[in-house]
């Protein structure tokens, strides 16, 4: 390792991993970030670590767990807030680097940075409030017959070190200090973050912000490490390292399933929380099409083409009724999309994959082109595309169910409510399902709700699935392949539950009990005592 890391936000990028607070040059090959608008390589060149160097990070995380998992709430919350402050302080260096590595506009980067720091501060509030610790206490009754009732106290403890993999499409909010990292750190789990090789500089800047916060609050440096490595080999090694107790992942279905298989085949299997694939069906009912269909078509295309369609909640499948109103909507979509131009996609690889997906969809039997936008500036800005087919084609052809990551969507024309329910029942798991309707459509739509509940994690009405609110009630998850575990969410404060497990303490002396379950409640937590909720002031 080199000398201790200089963590000021103005420091020039090093091109190295940060392992337990120190810069570590890799011993393997190298990678560069690329500007997708120009295909030009960005400096510096990043060195990739090997498996021996990876074990330095996982060993440090295992050592840090001992103190970090028992950190008092106030210090813990201050640490999360300090990370947020440091990210904001790095904006002058961070924003142009994100834009250069992703092609995203400044407004999108600024919005995403705000979301990232806001969720860190929200988790700081969760840590202070303490309900996530799940304290339950059943008091003893030595006089109970035929046997005395024991003293049993329960709390949730952090699982242990967590491996987090950066997402390609959200370089901040689902990346170094994004939702998986923030919720794992809030749970009390050290994090080893595998940077996405498409935006290494962005990851380093944010990694320095986290490292500085660790130093400022006096935490063990192994609480966080940032590593650069070959995706397949280091990713697999990270998921199978004995020190790692859970994985957070956002990315392709193939990569997510590979991590799931690796984690399940370990001598000690661990959970993988992977967000992978979703086409987010949107359902139009007759009443919704009785108004301004041109405005509705433009709103749909805005949701489809924002961020070049590279969102996990993009509306990739749209159900529209047959008849004149449905025809008018489809026609309006075709007219409006012709006026749009493509915007730069995140990487050449993503652009090539999108092009292949659209070409494959276009040649399927019964699929027709509704409209295509114009090619934008640069080599990675294809024009958005919308196609159409019928319910019969959707039921018969699995290609029509596949995600095309980017601005492409398929309109399905349906003839009856029963046909709509049948088609929905054959969909794979999704993140979202959206209903566009009026009060006149309520009875028609009602049978669809229970079917959607088995298929999606979030149901919304008269809106668009893009734009995921970060709050206490949000569910950003869904049945496979939307995620690997439909019981969880990767957005919102419930995300912390992924990295905790319950432990019960029976008849332990008070002196041996951990702070959250002591009788005098030193951390001032809400608790359930003998089945009754006891709220603190």
Q: How far is CA 112 from CA 42, 306, 313, 469, in A?
A: 22, 13, 15, 12
Catalytic residues: 275, 312
CA distance 403 to 405: 6
Length of the chain in residues, anyone?
Answer: 537
Q: How many alpha carbons fall within 13 Å on the CB side of residue 166? A: 27
Provide φ and ψ at 35, rounded to 5°: -80, 110
Q: Which residues contact 292 (CB under 8 A, 6 or more apart)?
A: none
Strands 385-390 and 368-372: antiparallel
Q: Which residues contact 508 (CB under 8 A, 6 or more apart)?
A: 151, 153
The DSSP string of 311-345 is: STT---EEEEESSHHHHHHHHHHHHHHTT-B----
What's the 3-state SS for 443-505?
A: HHHCCHHHHHHCCEEEEEECCCCCCCCCCCCCCCCCCCCCECCCCCCCCCHHHHHHHEEEEEE
Tell me if 185 sits within 8 A of 225, measured CB to CB.
no
Cβ neighbours, 10 Å, residue 510: 10
CA distance 267 to 222: 24
């Amino acid at each position: 390792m080199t000398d201790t890391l200089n963590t000021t936000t103005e420091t020039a990028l090093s091109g190295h991993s940060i392992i337990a607070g120190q810069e570590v040059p890799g011993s393997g090959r190298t990678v560069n970030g690329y500007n997708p608008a120009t295909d030009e390589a960005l400096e510096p060149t990043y060195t990739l670590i090997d498996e021996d160097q990876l074990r330095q990070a996982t060993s440090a995380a295992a050592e840090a767990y001992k103190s970090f998992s028992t950190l008092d709430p106030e210090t813990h919350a201050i640490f999360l807030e300090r990370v947020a402050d440091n990210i904001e302080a790095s904006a002058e260096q961070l924003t142009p680097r994100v834009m250069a590595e992703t092609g995203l506009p400044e407004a999108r980067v600024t919005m995403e940075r705000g979301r990232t720091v806001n969720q860190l501060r929200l988790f700081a509030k969760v840590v202070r409030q303490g309900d996530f610790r799940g304290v339950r206490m059943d008091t003893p009754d030595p006089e109970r017959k035929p046997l005395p009732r024991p003293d049993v106290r329960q709390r949730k403890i952090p699982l242990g070190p967590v491996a987090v993999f950066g997402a390609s499409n959200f370089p901040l909010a689902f990346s170094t200090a994004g939702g998986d990292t923030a919720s794992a750190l809030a749970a009390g789990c050290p994090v080893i973050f595998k940077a996405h090789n498409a935006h290494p500089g962005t990851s380093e800047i944010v990694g320095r912000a986290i490292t500085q916060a660790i130093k400022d609050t006096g935490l063990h440096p192994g609480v966080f490490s940032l590593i650069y490595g070959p995706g397949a080999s280091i990713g697999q090694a990270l998921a199978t390292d004995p020190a790692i107790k859970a994985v957070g992942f956002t990315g392709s279905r193939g990569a997510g399933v590979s991590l799931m298989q690796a984690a399940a085949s370990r001598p000690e299997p661990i959970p993988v929380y992977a967000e992978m694939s979703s086409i987010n069906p949107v359902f139009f009912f007759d009443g919704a099409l009785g108004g301004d269909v041109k405005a509705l078509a433009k709103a749909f295309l805005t949701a489809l083409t924002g961020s070049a369609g590279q969102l996990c909640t993009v509306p990739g499948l749209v159900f529209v009724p047959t008849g004149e109103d449905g025809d008018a909507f489809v026609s309006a979509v075709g007219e409006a999309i012709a006026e749009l131009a493509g915007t730069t996609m995140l990487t050449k690889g993503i652009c090539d994959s999108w092009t292949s997906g659209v070409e494959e969809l276009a040649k399927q039997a019964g699929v027709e082109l509704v409209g295509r936008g114009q090619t934008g500036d640069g080599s990675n800005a294809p024009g958005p595309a919308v196609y159409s087919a019928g319910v019969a084609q959707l039921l018969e052809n699995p290609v029509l169910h596949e995600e095309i990551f980017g601005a492409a969507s398929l309109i399905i024309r349906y003839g009856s409510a029963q046909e709509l329910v049948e088609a929905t029942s054959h969909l794979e798991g999704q993140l979202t399902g959206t209903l566009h309707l009026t009060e006149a459509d309520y009875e028609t739509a009602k049978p669809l709700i229970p079917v959607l509940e088995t298929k999606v994690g979030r149901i919304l009405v008269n809106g668009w699935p893009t734009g995921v609110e970060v709050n206490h009630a949000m569910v950003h998850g869904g049945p496979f392949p939307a995620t690997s575990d439909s019981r969880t969410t990767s957005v919102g404060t419930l995300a912390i539950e992924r990295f905790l497990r319950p432990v019960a303490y029976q008849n332990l002396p008070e002196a041996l009990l951990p702070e959250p379950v002591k009788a005098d409640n030193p951390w001032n937590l809400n608790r359930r005592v003998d089945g009754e909720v006891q709220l603190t002031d």
